[in-house]
Amino acid sequence: MPLFVGTYALPSSIAVASACFGQQLHARVGGLAVTFALPDLHASVNGRPPRVKAPAVVLLPQELLQRTHDSVFECEWGVVGHWNNSTGMPVDGGWLSMVAVSVSLPGPIEYRESLRPGLGRPDSAELQLFGPAMEEWFDLLFDWIAVTVGQDTHYAEPIRNVHTPGQGLLITEARPDGTFSHVRSAEFTKLTSSESPHVEETTLVELLTRTNSGRKPSDARLILRDGWVDLRRGRFRRAVIDGGSAAEIALATWCRANNRTVGTKPTLGRYVKKAHAPIPAATQVDLVDVRNDAIHNNITPSRVSAQRALETAEKILNALEPI
């Protein structure tokens, strides 16, 4: 079967440990055997940040390298934020943004005509299906990274790191005599920063195995993930509702597996009080009451209360359905 090599830009960058760079990972994508080569990590030189470059283990054509290289920032493959000046290497890791791809695809392969010399653009039914399969595979991997490590992989709604409030506003004073003041525009910028736990090499391999098998995180885990997404974006009420829902699903599943009943009309509060499950002692106060206020009393919790509720829900899930 013809061998194809290429690059895949991740939907959003993920934080990985230094040991992950330079690795080759084997996957099953759309029923095909695929090898992902992670970019190489190069030490700092002359005070410049360590550089993340195309993996040397895969021979990529110059056309691809030119499309994935920025002569100014050199960060298409990834970037390093913190490094040790004495060693020139990252303190804990960096951000992975792109991987090299190797895959053998069954034929027949057709080559469309091109004005440039050489083979034209390849095309086949398998090639047309490979792109959507890659996106689906990485979406599942991102789900596992979010529920296992706690990284925010919700790329459909990224957290804006740099924001200028009122950026589109231009305004000037209009005086009765027909004169105008100088135009005023937005004059300050808000920077948002967050620390993401890095994916260690052993964890990445384990999550790759789960993704290859097609196994998905539980509904409770995904809903709790959504709660953390809401919290980071300032939606505190939705966050505690998601946290309460995730805990209730986990408790209901645990009760069925252990033949526990809490009455004919189970609720989160009844599960907490009557199931005798191994959950935190302060669950009623830290999660149930906050969640009930959000739903029944139209109360939006503070960030601190919402975070405590999610942390409590996470402890419940870790106890009842460990990953």
What is the per-residue pLDDT across 59-88, written as a single tens digit (0 to 9) for each?
Answer: 777 666 655 554 444 458 898 877 877 777
pLDDT score at 56: 83
How many other C-beta atoms are found inside a 10 Å radius of the C-beta of residue 65?
13
pLDDT score at 73: 41
Helical ranges in the chain per DSSP H: 62-67, 125-148, 201-213, 219-232, 236-257, 268-274, 283, 289-296, 303-320
> Nearest CA to 77 among 29, 36, 30, 33?
36
Beta bridge partners of 163: 190
pLDDT score at 305: 97
pLDDT score at 99: 92
pLDDT digits (tens, 9 = 90+) for 271-287: 999 999 999 999 999 99
pLDDT score at 177: 87
- Sequence letter at residue 287: L
pLDDT score at 107: 72
pLDDT score at 150: 92
pLDDT score at 160: 67
pLDDT score at 196: 75
pLDDT score at 50: 84
Q: Which residues of the chain have pLDDT under 70?
A: 62-75, 114-119, 160-161, 186-187, 190-195
CA distances from 71 to 57, 65, 74, 78, 289 (A): 22, 11, 6, 14, 54
- Sequence letter at residue 190: K
Cα gap 157→159, rounded to integer Å: 7
32 CB-side CA count, 13 A: 23
The whole-model pTM stands at 0.83
Domain layout of the chain by residue ranges: 3-148, 160-193, 218-320
Identify the architecture of domain 218-320 in CATH. Answer: Up-down Bundle (1.20)
